[in-house]
Amino acid sequence: MPFQDIIGHETPITWLRNAIQSNHLAHAYLLIGEEAIGKRMTAIQFIQAMNCDTHADSPTPDACGTCRSCQQIMAHIHPDILFIQPEEGQGQHPQIKIERVREIEHHVIYRPLLGMKKICMIDNADRLTIGAANALLKTLEEPPDHCLFLLVTSRPSALLTTLKSRCLTVRFAPPSQEQAIDYLMQERGFSKADARFISFLTNARLGEALNLDLEDTKAKQHEFFSLLFENSASISGSFEAAETLSKSGQIPEALLWIWTGLRDILLVATQAPTEFLFHEDHLPKLRELAQRTSPQKILGLLDTLHQLEQGLQRNLNSQLRFEQFFLHLREAIPPS
Ligand SMILES: [Zn+2]
């Protein structure tokens, strides 16, 4: 897959492309940016572009994606390239241990077999243990000429500063909402409203957006809408909703949905264009809710939501917190 298939990221891609074209490659690059926005995909395509078999007859440094070399890289079986990532099955915070760095040391001793460089890509490099990071630092301090390192992370602050200082940092920002919406319409055949919904929900993080199931997500949207605005019609319904949400095991997600709902009511109440709405397909319901409240009351409710979030972070009784929130919700948007 060529670079131009990656959305957004023009600056980092141009940089990496020029480095290949002018043969001014650094020994180590650190790719940083939010989770799931295309760092890994760009890294893989950078590696493919350096090794593509069709390169000789191509005027651009893009990879074909289909030659033997490109396929081997995609399947992580190219002999010159070592892919390292935290080991699965280690619970919530898997690490990259020193044994893996020993593998790297071994990998880089010998010259490449097929391509120009021996490459080592370390995904989630922030998961290196201190011992592993220090061992890697030694290799990065005096890297053999035929080596190239790619470290990828969404948490650069968790990396050793000395390690970072050995790398050229390539920053990735999420694509704009417009770019993400166009891409989702094209790639997944979404309607504009659906593409906007998914793009807003994932904050234009395409890695996440491409994996979300539209029907499932819409089912959740309906579920939260009725929990929030149907259940709150009665006191007992409010308590039930509070219990459901506090026991859902998906509190951050629940808070995000609540926020999007309140945000939309505020937008409708202030006559904002409907294209800014998250839940455009619930417009009649949003209008009806907006009529029963005022922007001021919704702003107050957003404050309450913020307090709810803080309380939950401090592990205060979550059910009680949600109950309080729902009581405020009933006051701010009285049942019809
Ligand atoms: Zn190729």
Residuewise pLDDT in 10s, the chain (336 residues): 566 666 778 888 888 988 988 888 999 999 999 888 889 999 999 999 999 988 655 556 788 889 999 999 999 999 999 999 998 877 778 999 999 999 999 999 999 998 889 999 999 999 999 999 999 999 999 999 999 999 999 999 999 999 999 999 999 988 888 889 999 999 899 998 899 999 988 888 888 898 899 999 999 998 888 888 888 888 899 999 999 988 888 888 889 899 999 999 999 999 999 888 889 889 999 999 999 999 999 999 999 999 999 988 887 788 999 999 999 999 999 988
Phi-psi region of 315 (alpha: psi -120 to 50; beta: other; left: phi over 0): left
- CB 262 within 8 Å of CB 298: yes
Cα 36 to ligand 1 centroid, rounded to whole Å: 24
The 3-state DSSP composition of the chain as helix, strand, coil percent (nearest 5) reads: 60, 10, 30
CA of 58 to the centre of ligand 1 (A): 10
CATH of domain 213-332: 1.20.272
The domain ranges of the chain are 3-171, 213-332
For 98-191, where are the alpha helices, taking DSSP H only? Answer: 98-109, 130-141, 161-164, 177-188
pTM for the model: 0.73
CA distances from 67 to 54, 64, 75, 181 (A): 7, 7, 12, 31
DSSP string, 190-243: --HHHHHHHHHHTTT-HHHHHHS-HHHHHHHHHHHHIIIIIGGGSHHHHHHHHH
Q: How far is CA 213 from the centre of its chain?
A: 16
Cα 159 to ligand 1 centroid, rounded to whole Å: 33
**Alpha carbon of 121 to ligand 1 centroid (Å):** 18
3-171 architecture in CATH?
A: 3-Layer(aba) Sandwich (3.40)
Distance 63 CA to ligand 1 centre (A): 5
Ion ligand 1, residues whose Cβ is below 5 A away: 52, 63-64, 67, 70
89: tokens are 């099955």
Distance 158 CA to ligand 1 centre (A): 34
Residue-level pLDDT at 127:
96
Centre of ligand 1 to C-alpha 57, Å, is: 11
Residue from 131, 133, 130, 113 nearest 122 by CA? 133
- Cα 4 to ligand 1 centroid, rounded to whole Å: 15
pLDDT of residue 260: 92
CA–centroid distance, residue 115 to ligand 1 (Å): 12
